[in-house]
Amino acid sequence: MVREARIDDLGAITEIYNQAIDAQFQTCFTEPYSPEMKQDWFYEHDGTGYPLLVYELDGAVAGFLSVSPYRQGRHALRFAVEISYFVHIAHHKKGIGSALLGKAISQCREIGYKTALAILLVPNKASIALLEKFGFAQWGYMPDIAEFDGVVCGQLYYGLKL
């Protein structure tokens, strides 16, 4: 079930995010976070018009999605948002990402956003497939911009007009 995130979900959210950091090529962050380090991020979404969703499975958080301002502070971009999502490694291929992304797109349209962006790394084929399933298309490519332990890869910008 998809629901709004609560502060007591922060431990599970951080665990899932740290899995993505450890796996590499799913986020450009390379150092793990503690729940305390993510508190400000959580409150930037709490009641601000930028949804933070979790997928709860058997009473536990199995994935999360955040909607954030794109290039915050640039007023001309106020109707564009960036969507990021992560699923617990034990729950990949169960439709959790689809459920989260579908709900987020619906909420973004209701709020009045006009464009959704997702920024991801070229090796992340699962995210590319998920985004394309929902009508996102590649809008940009930055070659060889990220490096993980000597392995270089490009970054993609995917977009959807809402």
- DSSP letters, the chain, are -EEE--GGGHHHHHHHHHHHHHH-SS-S--S---GGGGHHHHHHHTTSSS-EEEEEETTEEEEEEEEEESSTT-GGGTTEEEEEEEE-GGGTTSSHHHHHHHHHHHHHHHHT--EEEEEEETT-HHHHHHHHHTT-EEEEEEEEEEEETTEEEEEEEEEEE-
In the chain, domain spans: 2-161
Name the fold adopted by 2-161. Answer: Aminopeptidase (3.40.630)
- How does pLDDT run across 39-49, given as a tens digit for each residue? 989 999 988 89
- How does pLDDT run across 100-147, given as a tens digit for each residue? 999 999 999 999 999 999 999 999 999 999 999 999 999 999 999 999
The tokens describing 63, both together, are 């994935």
